Structure 1
Amino acid sequence: MQRTFIRVLLVIFGAIEAGVGLWPLVSPMGFYQDFPGLRRGWVAMDGAFNEHLIRDFGGLNLALAAVLVGAAVIGTAAAARLAGVAALLFGAPHFAYHLGHLAHFERLDQVLIVVTTALGALVPLVLILLPGRRIKPPETP
């Protein structure tokens, strides 16, 4: 059985991934030029526009969102751990890539990129490592 904290974390993480996934599907060029929104151009600063890759990124983020929210609905510790593994398999390489590609960003953007991509690798570790809630067997009189 999942802890309430894990279930909430799965839903919040899934909602964030859904937003990041929908944007490039609805407006690939808008995502390319304006992501993350408050600070512009993180994707555009990293290379030429490729609609195919932007749309694939959106679709994969939506798939990850479905796995995360689905794990919350299923409610088992095993489902949460599996969702954590899926998120880690995306988040860890994404974080590693950005650690090696920060020089062309302003200092504030560098910090924000490291923090946000680190969360994408650390939150899955919480999902994987935090044990499930123990279910007490019924007491016999």
Structure 2
Amino acid sequence: MQRTITRVLLVLFGLIEVPVGLWPLISPTGFYRDFPGFRTGWVAMDGPFNEHFLRDFGGLNLGLAALLIGAAVIGTTAVARLAAVSALLFGVPHFLYHFGHVAHYERIDQVLIVATTGLGVLLPLVILLVPARRVSPPATP
């Protein structure tokens, strides 16, 4: 069984992915122009608008959100680790791309981009490293 911290991290990570998934599906142009919302133009500065790419990215993030939150609900360590590995398979290449392509952003945006995409690697690593909850054998009379 999972520890409470694993469930909390899975739900938190999953909830972060929901708006990142819905936004490009609802408004690809808005996502392209305004992501992440508190700073603008992160996606727009990285190349021309591509609705197909943005809708795929939105669907991917919603699928990842469902997996992460579902893993917390199911509650087994194996499913939590599967969700973490899935998140890493997306998060590591995503982080590495952005880490190598931030020179054209303002310094604050460089830090924010590296930090936020880095969380996509750090959170699943933490989930993988949290040990399973020990199940106590039943007490014998």
Amino acid at match of 2:138: P
| 1:96-135 superposed matches below 5 A | 96-135=96-135
- Cα deviation, residue 130, structure 1: 1.2
Q: Does 1:81 align with 2:54?
A: no
Q: Deviations over 1:58-97 (max 9, x none)?
A: 0000000000000000001111100000000000000000
Q: Does 1:140 align with 2:140?
A: yes
- Cα deviation, residue 17, structure 1: 0.4
Q: Which residue of 2 aligns with 1:36?
A: 36
Q: Which residue of 1 aligns with 2:3?
A: 3
Q: Which residue of 1 aligns with 2:16?
A: 16
Query: What is the CA–CA distance in structure 2 between the aligned matches of 1:28 and 1:60, rounded to whole Å?
Result: 14
Amino acid at match of 1:8: V
Runs of 4+ more than 6 Å apart? none
Amino acid at match of 1:53: F
Structure 2 gaps of 5+ residues are: none
Amino acid at match of 1:125: L
- Cα deviation, residue 128, structure 1: 1.2
Q: Which residue of 1 aligns with 2:64?
A: 64
Q: Which residue of 2 aligns with 1:26?
A: 26
Q: Which residue of 2 aligns with 1:54?
A: 54
- Cα deviation, residue 139, structure 1: 1.0
Q: What TM-score results when the alignment is normalised by the length of structure 1?
A: 0.99
Pairs aligned (count): 141
Q: Deviations over 1:88-121 (max 9, x none)?
A: 0000000000011011000000000010011101
Amino acid at match of 2:54: I
Q: What TM-score results when the alignment is normalised by the length of structure 2?
A: 0.99
